[in-house]
A and B are shown apart, each in its own frame.
Chain A
């Protein structure tokens, strides 16, 4: 199996797509080889926040090792809900920083290729040898192994509260589809979706996919921002949270961490959308559901 890199520098770094490409070998993707760590670290660029505590590599590496240890006897997918909030709280990034693909390339190839292999090694069919898709190492934010967890935490936390993130990550279909649709960029929409999962209105992957599709379709004519307004965006709590990283202790392993003290989404807005989504879901076609009427869909 792909192992922990035999060389780990002190600071996290950036690895450009072009430089990352040469390390995505068949050997690595099939989990048989390691990444040549010393050579890789010669092709990196320093982080813009290189001098800050949040650029330290050790805490991130330790967190990922703990995730692999804690879920060693479990399905690796179960680690997502544990790791997403903790990774988010350990890295303390702005969205601007998190939109840099080079950062995630480095985490996957330079810091924890063993995690990516452990979590994403899968056989496409029964006779095919198991492989990790290259986009788990280097790819868009909604598929890359670490970026998807960070963005799930960022878009589904309610200010400092990471609990909705844990619920959301418990369903792989949610994690896979929700990050790909723009409609989840509206926080009350994201939180109302999670609320329906908590209530048990949607349980299976197919139900989740049907719900997200219905929410997305309905957004073409209904403006959720107007019927369910969010609190005004304020960047100060995030800045303070990032500054506090200098003196913050390690991310808690047992309890959930606490995110930036941004204002929570207005309860009333989430409620309005919970009702609306429950209604359109009731009329939405779900694959495999006996009463599924694929023809009409729901009135949006």
Chain B
């Protein structure tokens, strides 16, 4: 909990996207179907439209602010409600001020325009309540806690990312994959997003991973996918932790792309009961220090296994096998 030297607004501030419209050079105006944005996931995915000729998009947004903000006896004046959209990877930050709507100052409405050329992957969007407090203008007195995401890469408005899976024959494939021609898959964490390369030269593996067969096939498939996901989580964690930028005083910084997301997600399981910033410092110290970080490996493995749903997949498989055996015995 941080301390502020002025009165803040208690209560929940929330943001909703109510409409999205794609705009293009030839006066294209394409209002997106509601399937392109999800209020539950809090994600906007313009990719749902399957059109590639848009240049910018306009979101209609609505914020709900606790009624106390505008109460006559409140300590805040010059109230403003501002939506901020930013993407670290492109250093882009745009803001728009909302206007008071109906419902006695609790609802605020407005538009936010996003230019496609300014964004690469995922932009996040939050709402901030700003006011003059004790004579100081521009104080942030409240903010939304859960960001909205505008996802330019996905074709569905989902918060969790789907893995990028490429099926390729390793024997004849890109140079660096050829040495791995005996294994069923390889995880590549070097790019914008982690990619899983499935080796089509490994007979049957792509049918098994992508297929929908008998119940035994499906059990094996789910177990295999859980294994694959464990590999991915382990690989992305090591990549992220191994490529940190360090401040002059030795404090590691969270990367601003998916590597940062991965660390924030996994660190609570690797170093439990500590704020993520402390956890990052701790892991970095252990990894680069003299005592080594072998004792952390089981925790990293635990964090990866949990995210990959291994326990669930395995217990389902074991139960499934049991019932098959019983059927065979009967």
Interface residues of A (CB under 8 A from B): 16-19, 21, 42-43, 94-102, 140-143, 151, 154-155, 179-180, 182, 184-186, 220-227, 229-230, 232-235, 238-239, 299-300
Beyond A16-B190, A222-B138, A235-B56, whether A155 also contacts B91 by CB under 8 A is yes
Given contacts A95-B117, A98-B90, A235-B56, 6 further A-B contacts (CB under 8 A): A96-B90, A96-B119, A223-B139, A227-B137, A235-B55, A239-B117
CB neighbours of B175 from chain A (8 A): 42-43
CA separation between A99 and B121, bound complex, in Å?
Answer: 9
- Would A95 and B128 count as touching, CB distance under 8 A? no
Taking each of A42, A101, A185, A221, which has the highest tally of chain B beta carbons within 10 Å of its own beta carbon? A221
Beyond A95-B90, A96-B120, whether A225 also contacts B84 by CB under 8 A is yes
- Would B6 and A96 count as touching, CB distance under 8 A? no
Interface residues of B (CB under 8 A from A): 2, 4-6, 55-56, 80, 82, 84, 86, 88-97, 113, 115-121, 128, 130, 136-140, 175-176, 188, 190-192, 245, 253, 255-256
Chain B, residue nearest A187 (CB)? B93
- Would B86 and A185 count as touching, CB distance under 8 A? yes
- Would A182 and B245 count as touching, CB distance under 8 A? no
Given B88, B90, B138, B245, which contacts A224 in the complex, CB threshold below 8 Å?
B138
CB neighbours of B188 from chain A (8 A): 18
- Would B95 and A225 count as touching, CB distance under 8 A? yes
CA separation between A230 and B84, bound complex, in Å?
Answer: 13
- Would A95 and B113 count as touching, CB distance under 8 A? no
- Would A235 and B190 count as touching, CB distance under 8 A? no
Beyond A96-B90, A225-B84, A226-B80, whether A299 also contacts B5 by CB under 8 A is yes
Beyond A182-B86, A222-B140, whether A238 also contacts B93 by CB under 8 A is no
- Would B93 and A182 count as touching, CB distance under 8 A? yes
CA separation between A45 and B62, bound complex, in Å?
Answer: 43
CB neighbours of B130 from chain A (8 A): 223, 226
CB neighbours of A230 from chain B (8 A): 95
Given A95, A184, A226, which contacts B118 in the complex, CB threshold below 8 Å?
A95
CA separation between A4 and B92, bound complex, in Å?
Answer: 35
CB distance from A135 to the nearest CB of B (A): 8
Taking each of A19, A154, A226, which has the highest tally of chain B beta carbons within 10 Å of its own beta carbon? A226
- Would B91 and A154 count as touching, CB distance under 8 A? yes
- Would B255 and A185 count as touching, CB distance under 8 A? no
CA separation between A146 and B319, bound complex, in Å?
Answer: 57
A-B contact pairs, 27 of them (CB 8 A): A17-B191, A18-B176, A18-B188, A42-B175, A94-B118, A95-B119, A95-B120, A98-B90, A100-B120, A179-B91, A182-B91, A185-B86, A185-B91, A221-B4, A222-B136, A223-B140, A224-B138, A225-B95, A226-B82, A226-B95, A226-B137, A233-B115, A234-B115, A235-B55, A235-B115, A239-B55, A300-B5
- Would B91 and A151 count as touching, CB distance under 8 A? yes
CA separation between A230 and B113, bound complex, in Å?
Answer: 14
CA separation between A221 and B90, bound complex, in Å?
Answer: 24
